[in-house]
């Protein structure tokens, strides 16, 4: 399918008048997928999602149907579905738009997924900052209860489900699935040591699935159109890599930073960063060139201008040294911007958001920020560059020194910035210049 003939799926109803209401959602065929699912066996729904090749849209790209099969088979007592609406990765806003503009699409996916996983309670964990989303969701959930789409005996099927909205309190770490569970339980959001994985012991020590909002929005379409339809979009499995699960389906790409038209677009997975920026982001602003581009949220690190023909599928960014596709949030940095200021901003973010549980992350994010502060003040030493790399190589789940991946996300911008822009760092330090943004004292 070429991009020109692609018709948006997940954003198909966005911009229509009254797109948030149950009446308009139903007029567009809404909840037909739910009615169809409830007539199937729950295992048939799981198989359909598994066969579609849908991979989680939250950042890690784990196959959704496979995740569902990790739940124990003969479990007595409750199973929980948690929806991760803590979208906080810098550059990422796709879930906000989905929820604000078409809450029923997401909620239908949640009911179907709950039915598939035999969950009878779903907790929708939503970051506090998304107040408008919260109100849109609450209104939609109320409409669902009033129309037998939630509560007891949904659509006469005998299946019962409650959905509760749970608001966060402004902490990035709640997007990590076990941090989310701890936060839901009323505790500090310290990620848990795994195993046990949430499927075995998650929320309230019960079997739990945690899924992303965009992942949920894909589910009704897979039920309606089938797994082959879903696999007709995107990038097939790499035949030379038996572990590749493919990059199928439509994907929301966020475009922000130095482009003429920041915004959200939906495309079959696999567009290159260059085409995304030029054809959908209106090109780099002010007639400038891109110096660096983040392919999928800040944690993924940087691509250079020469790497922009990389396809944004689950495998592409990794081939050029980035951590992965992440949230497919593309941030463009123009050639007038200092990579020292950009990396400082990144380190400061992760220092602010480190939960403090693991020493390598707490100290590594803080010291990398301090080193960059020193460089920005014109007092850096050339040895600071290797020191930053040493920190980056020592923190995270990849060297095996932390419980969760936050520190990997802190390390990747450092590694890619220094590997790909080392000359700029050396020149900056040698010149002894001070960052122009230090004048913005109030902001630091």
Partner 1 sequence: MSELSENAKQIIAEHLPRYPSKQAVTLPALHIVQQERRCVSNKAMEEIAELLELSPAQINDTASFYGFFRTEDNPLGQKRIWVCRSLPCMLRGGEELLAALCEKYHIAPGETTADGKLTIELAECLGACDGAPCILLEDELHLRCSLEDVERIANEPNAPTKKA
Residues that bind partner 1 (CB under 8 A): 78, 87-93, 95-97, 127-132, 134, 162, 164, 166-172, 183-189, 204, 206, 254-258, 262-264, 294, 298, 329, 331, 333-334, 337, 341-342, 345-346, 349, 352-353, 355, 437, 440-443
For tokens 């396809």, the residue is 311
Nearer to partner 1, 179 or 316 (CB): 179
3-state secondary structure (DSSP) of residue 11: coil
CB of 370 to partner 1, least distance (A): 18
Nearer to partner 1, 46 or 329 (CB): 329
Query: Rounded to the nearest 10 degrees, how much is the dihedral formed by the CA atoms of 59, 356, 207, 114?
Result: -40
Nearer to partner 1, 306 or 443 (CB): 443
Distance in angstroms (rounded) separating the CA atoms of residues 38 and 114: 11
3-state secondary structure (DSSP) of residue 338: coil
**Residue 201: partners with Cβ closer than 8 Å, 6 or more residues away:** 207, 208
CB of 444 to partner 1, least distance (A): 8
The CA distances from residue 295 to 65, 124, 386, in Å, are: 25, 27, 25
3-state secondary structure (DSSP) of residue 439: helix
Tell me the HSE value of 425 on the side-chain side, using a 13 A CA sphere: 27
Token duo for residue 274? 């260059």
CB of 165 to partner 1, least distance (A): 10
Nearer to partner 1, 83 or 235 (CB): 83
**Residue 343: partners with Cβ closer than 8 Å, 6 or more residues away:** 372, 413, 414, 417
DSSP symbols for 26-73:
HHTTTTHHHHHHHTS-HHHHHHHHHHHT-B-SSSS--BHHHHHHTS-T
**Residue 411: partners with Cβ closer than 8 Å, 6 or more residues away:** 364, 391, 392, 393, 395, 396, 398
Q: What share of residues in the chain are helix, strand, coil (percent, to 5)?
A: 45, 15, 40
What 8-state DSSP symbol labels residue 190? P
Nearer to partner 1, 110 or 223 (CB): 110
CB of 421 to partner 1, least distance (A): 15
CB 355 within 8 A of CB 189: yes
Distance in angstroms (rounded) separating the CA atoms of residues 359 and 319: 30
Nearer to partner 1, 75 or 382 (CB): 75
Nearer to partner 1, 119 or 331 (CB): 331
CB of 356 to partner 1, least distance (A): 9
CB of 241 to partner 1, least distance (A): 32
Q: Which runs of E-coded beta strand occur in 175-319?
A: 208-212, 234-235, 247-248, 250-257, 263-268, 290-294, 303-304
CB of 96 to partner 1, least distance (A): 5
CB of 254 to partner 1, least distance (A): 7
Nearer to partner 1, 49 or 110 (CB): 110
Nearer to partner 1, 91 or 317 (CB): 91
CB of 95 to partner 1, least distance (A): 8
Nearer to partner 1, 60 or 438 (CB): 438
The CA distances from residue 74 to 66, 79, 161, 413, in Å, are: 17, 11, 19, 44
CB of 175 to partner 1, least distance (A): 11
For tokens 């890690």, the residue is 60
Nearer to partner 1, 91 or 324 (CB): 91
Token duo for residue 215? 């992942």
CB of 280 to partner 1, least distance (A): 12
Distance in angstroms (rounded) separating the CA atoms of residues 54 and 245: 9
């Amino acid at each position: 399918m070429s991009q020109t003939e692609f018709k948006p799926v997940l954003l198909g109803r966005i911009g229509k008048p009254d797109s948030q209401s149950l009446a308009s959602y139903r007029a567009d065929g809404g909840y037909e997928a739910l009615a169809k699912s409830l007539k199937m066996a729950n295992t048939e729904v799981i198989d359909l999602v598994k066969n579609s090749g849908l991979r989680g849209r939250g950042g890690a790209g784990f196959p959704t149907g496979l995740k569902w099969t990790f739940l124990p088979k003969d479990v007595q007592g409750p199973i929980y579905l948690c929806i991760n609406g803590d979208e906080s990765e810098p550059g990422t806003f796709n879930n906000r738009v989905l929820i604000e503009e078409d809450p029923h699409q997401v909620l239908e996916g949640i009911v179907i997924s709950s039915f598939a996983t035999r969950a009878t309670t779903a907790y929708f964990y939503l970051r506090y900052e998304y107040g408008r989303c919260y109100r849109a969701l609450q209104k939609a959930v109320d409409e669902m209860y009033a129309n037998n789409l939630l509560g007891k005996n949904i659509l006469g099927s005998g299946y019962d489900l409650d959905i509760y909205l749970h608001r966060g309190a402004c902490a990035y770490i709640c997007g990590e699935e076990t941090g989310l569970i701890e936060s839901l339980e009323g505790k500090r959001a310290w990620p848990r040591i795994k195993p046990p994985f949430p499927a075995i012991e998650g929320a309230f020590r019960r079997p739990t699935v945690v899924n992303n909002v965009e992942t949920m929005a894909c589910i009704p379409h897979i039920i309606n159109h089938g797994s082959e339809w879903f696999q007709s979009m995107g990038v097939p499995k790499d035949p030379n890599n038996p572990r590749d699960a493919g990059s199928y389906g439509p994907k929301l790409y966020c475009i922000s930073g130095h482009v003429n038209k920041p915004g959200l677009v939906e495309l079959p997975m696999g567009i290159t960063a260059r085409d995304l920026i030029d054809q959908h982001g209106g090109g780099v602003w002010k007639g400038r060139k891109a110096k660096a581009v983040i392919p999928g949220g800040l944690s993924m690190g940087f691509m250079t201008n020469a790497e922009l023909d990389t396809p944004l599928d689950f495998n592409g960014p990794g081939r050029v040294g980035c951590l992965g596709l992440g949230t497919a949030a593309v941030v463009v940095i123009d050639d007038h911007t200092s990579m020292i200021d950009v990396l400082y901003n990144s380190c400061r973010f992760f220092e602010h958001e480190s939960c403090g549980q693991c020493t390598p992350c707490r100290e590594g994010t803080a010291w990398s920020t301090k080193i960059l502060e020193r460089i920005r003040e014109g007092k850096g030493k050339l040895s600071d560059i290797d020191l930053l790399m040493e920190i980056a190589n020592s923190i995270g789940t990849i060297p095996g020194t932390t419980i969760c991946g936050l520190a990997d996300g802190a390390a990747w911008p450092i590694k890619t910035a220094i590997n790909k822009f080392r000359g700029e760092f050396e020149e900056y330090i040698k010149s002894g210049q001070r960052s122009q943004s230090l004048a913005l004292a109030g902001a630091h």
